[in-house]
Amino acid sequence: MKLGFLGVGWIGRDRMRSIVASGAGDAALVADASPAVAEEVAAETGATVVTPEELLGAGLDGVVIATPSALHAEQSIAALQAGSAVFCQKPLGRDAAETAAVVAAARAADLLLGVDYSYRHLAATEALRTALPEVGSIYAADLVFHNAYGPDKPWFRDPALSGGGCVIDLGTHLVDLALHLLAGTGAPVGVEHVTARLFAGGQPLGDRTDVVEDFATARIDLIDGAVLTLACSWNLHAGQEAVISASFYGTAGAVSLTNVGGSFYDFRAARHDGTSSTVLVEPPDGWGGRAAVQWAQRLAAGERFDPGAEELVTTARVLDRVYGR
């Protein structure tokens, strides 16, 4: 397969290496707003450097997009309309309308659309997927993602390029993970009610549009009565690099995944019964490029549009409600 890589900064470069190493596809074209960055990355694989517009119009087997978040929807639609399947970084759109437009473009072109919800692919998540049906009816979940370093590139804090702050950056992973896992148990995952508080620099965000939120807490009530609580932030005084967890409480037990020792990369899964816990999965686990490689392998196997992409719109709708729109 001939693949194009658009935006080859930190994550774009990492996902290109994962896909090429898997043997699922070749890096045919590379494009970045910075020609120097594109040249450096293309040299790794012998890919040809082109402009972003040339790459989007090339009609390749697939295009992998890892540009600043606010560009994702427009670039994904352009690639799909030119006949390329797409694997895009999260978030796919800045809101549900943008996200739905990309899914509609993939459906119309009958092309495989993947999004890098990488936490779906942890070994710890797989353990939760297996254990969830064994802990009875899930009535509550606690979802936490604090990145105490905060994002390292200035564009993350520019609303025009990021489309939002910690909610669209980190909260999107948590909402996707919870709804995806709960849907996998057969539970109805319709959302009834959402309340949220967003902050910037310790002050309520209110109607400000010149800054993005760096702390958010939300409660998401599902139609079956289950309740999800969500907390996410950048640069919180968390006492460690990251606090990441997803805990699901059921009538016959609970399961959780938690990061280990403040790490962004190491996760443990456990089952809890009353006051005792059983570890299901321990690190290490090389999960980073797994979503990208899985998309490339499905594409190589000839897969076309997957209606499961509608889950992307559901998650985006929840985020819209967290943002109060």
CB atoms under 10 Å from CB of 222, counted, come to: 21
The single-letter DSSP state of residue 24 is S
Binding residues among 93-122 for ligand NAD as defined by CB under 6 A: 116, 118
Closer residue to ligand NAD in complex, CB, 20/66 = 66
Q: Residues binding ligand NAD: what is the number (CB under 6 A)?
A: 24
For the beta sheet containing 227-234, the strands, ordered from the edge strand earlier in sequence to the opposite edge, are 203-204, 191-200, 215-222, 227-234, 138-147, 242-250, 253-259, 267-273, 276-281
CB of 303 to ligand NAD, least distance (A): 21
Smallest distance, ligand NAD to C-beta of residue 75, A: 7
Contact status: 259 vs ligand NAD (CB under 6 A) = no
When asked if residue 169 is in the footprint of ligand NAD (CB under 6 A), the reply is: yes
Query: Considering the complex, what minimum distance in angstroms separates the CB of residue 268 from ligand NAD?
Result: 19
Does 9 participate in binding ligand NAD (rule CB under 6 A)?
Answer: yes
Cis-peptide into 284, omega within 30 deg? yes
The residue ranges of DSSP E strands in the chain, in sequence order, are: 2-6, 26-31, 48-49, 62-65, 85-88, 113-115, 138-147, 191-200, 203-204, 215-222, 227-234, 242-250, 253-259, 267-273, 276-281
Of 35-74, binders to ligand NAD (CB under 6 A) are 37, 52, 66-69, 71
CB of 56 to ligand NAD, least distance (A): 9
Our CB check for ligand NAD shows the closer of 90 and 317 to be: 90
Q: Which residue's CB is nearer to ligand NAD, number 67 or number 259?
A: 67
Q: Evaluate whether 133 touches 110 at the Cβ level (below 8 Å).
A: no
Q: Which residues bind ligand NAD (CB under 6 A)?
A: 6-12, 31-34, 37, 52, 66-69, 71, 89-90, 116, 118, 153, 169
